[in-house]
Amino acid sequence: MAWRKLEGELLERDILIEVEEALKAEIGTKIKVCIGSDSQVKGDFTAFATAIVFLREGRGGFVFVNKYASERTFTIKERMIHEVSDSVQFAIKVCPILDKYKTELEVHADINTDPNFKSNVALKEAMGYILGMGYTFKAKPDAFASTYCAGKVVS
């Protein structure tokens, strides 16, 4: 699982070092971090991606992404919870660094709040998982880290 910039350039160091260096470079800028994951079934396997988005207040942002595949077959609910778990597990790892630099964190779930969409089947569990871990929760249409950034990598 190699982390990259959204544009495709491989990150040479461990992701936690890259995150800390990115935050050091942004000292003096108000920054928020959003973590989200997405997946897509592709025949016999499912592609998963996680994105960490760094938003600079009034100055755009940048993204690091990671992608992997699983041969396991998932129900829609299992797949949605797997995405959320990937995001939460990464948030757990990165939180000490974010706390050190007093950086706000949101965890985004690629789950639709509209019950007419299949992904909605996992909304309550995903929200409970993320909020229960103490993180700020965002779902579609506000979950751009998962829907657009991670989604771009798996599509």
1: pLDDT strictly greater than 80 = no
Band of the pLDDT at 131, cuts 50, 70, 90? Answer: very high
Report pLDDT digits (tens) over 24-45.
999 999 999 999 999 999 999 9
Mean local confidence (pLDDT), 10-26: 96
Give the domain ranges of the chain.
Answer: 4-154
- When mean pLDDT is compared across 93-97, 126-130, 147-151, the lowest value belongs to 147-151
CATH domain 4-154 topology: Nucleotidyltransferase; domain 5 (3.30.420)
| pLDDT attached to residue 117 | 92
Report pLDDT digits (tens) over 49-108.
999 999 998 889 999 999 999 999 999 999 999 999 999 999 999 999 999 999 999 999
| pLDDT attached to residue 35 | 98
DSSP for the chain, written as a single string? ---EETTSPBP-S-HHHHHHHHHHHTTTS-EEEEEEEEEEEETTEEEEEEEEEEEETTS-EEEEEEEEEE-S---HHHHHHHHHHHHHHHHHHHHHHHHHTT-EEEEEEEEESSTTSGGGGGHHHHHHHHHHTT-EEEEETS-HIIIIIIHHHH-
